[in-house]
Amino acid sequence: MGCRWLRKAKELLFNQGFPTPRGVFYLITTTLLSLLLPLSFLLLATLSGAQFYLKSLNYILHQPLPYIFNLALHVNPCVLYFLVSIVTMATLIHGLMGKAALSSDSWSSWSSKTSFHLYIAWILLSAFQFCIGLGIEGSIVAGVYDFESSFGGERSLISRVIFLFGLHETTQVWSRFVVRPVVDTTVYGVARKERWIERVAAATSLGLMWWWRLRDEVETLVVMTQVKREQLLDVGLADFVGWWLYYLTVTIGMVRVIKGVMWVFMISLCRRRPTQISQVESGDDNDDKV
């Protein structure tokens, strides 16, 4: 029995093609590029907190800001907010429409034949990489990570978990519709079927990033508006968009939870019906015998 299961596991692993160098490179590339979306949330929260502290401490009057940080602090978040809003809204629409038939395989096979979608995917991926690289470089130059990022007013555990579900769903849509078509055509030249190990690697990486820093930093997006109102500061458009993105992601998580509960209910209902039918048939057979 043990040898048979071991043989099946080896066949499954080697059929995925990941022991090859190209397969390993593909797995690492798709995983890292999939993390661009949660890294965008982390960067937006960090820049939002840094901008608040710089204004409250009058940092600009005492020390001139580096040009790269000035660019990353004022121009970069606007573009990144717009890009993250596109992906988040697409995820919410996709979740509400409930198009289960639009799987990664069908989408990948269609996108491999449509150059227009590949151009859009390349543009989005390049824009995300440029904005995140610029934001991280500017943050390191100005020493943003030295600021205390706690603003109080932490969300409840349920709210955090639902947000994590929504962020995972958004990351999946980002990886399925943008990352994988680009990597597929670059590495293999054709669309490939999504493997289970890719999903496990992406979910594990997101969980590690969430536990490392994202779970605490991302709440800055929703707390910032409350802090500025309490201190009688102007709430800008970027603060409102950050607040909106946070609760939009929570809504995506709620939709996923509701769908999961409905799926479990339908599975349990379908299992009950065959049992009831078999009981009725057995009762009819007993009556015929009598």
> Of 172, 157, 152, whose CA–CA distance to 87 is shortest?
172
Query: Using CA atoms, how far apart are residues 74 and 70, in angstroms rounded to an integer?
Result: 6
Q: Is the pLDDT of residue 125 over 90?
A: yes
Query: Using CA atoms, how far apart are residues 262 and 78, in angstroms rounded to an integer?
Result: 38
220's tokens: 């800055």
Q: Is the pLDDT of residue 280 over 50?
A: no
73's tokens: 């602090």
Half-sphere exposure of 126 (CA within 13 A, CB side): 6
The residue type at 208: L
Length of the chain: 290
CA separation, residue 173 to residues 99, 102, 157, 224 (Å): 13, 11, 25, 27
- pLDDT, one tens digit per residue, over 133-184 is 888 887 777 666 555 555 555 667 888 899 999 999 999 999 998 999 899 8
Residue burial 116-131, b: 16+ Cβ < 10 Å; e: rest: ebbeebeebbeebeeb
Q: Is the pLDDT of residue 255 over 70?
A: yes
* Domain boundaries defined on the chain: 15-276
> Nearest 5 degrees, angle CA 66-CA 71-CA 76?
145
- pLDDT, one tens digit per residue, over 180-221 is 989 988 887 777 777 888 889 999 999 999 988 888 888 888
pTM of the model: 0.80
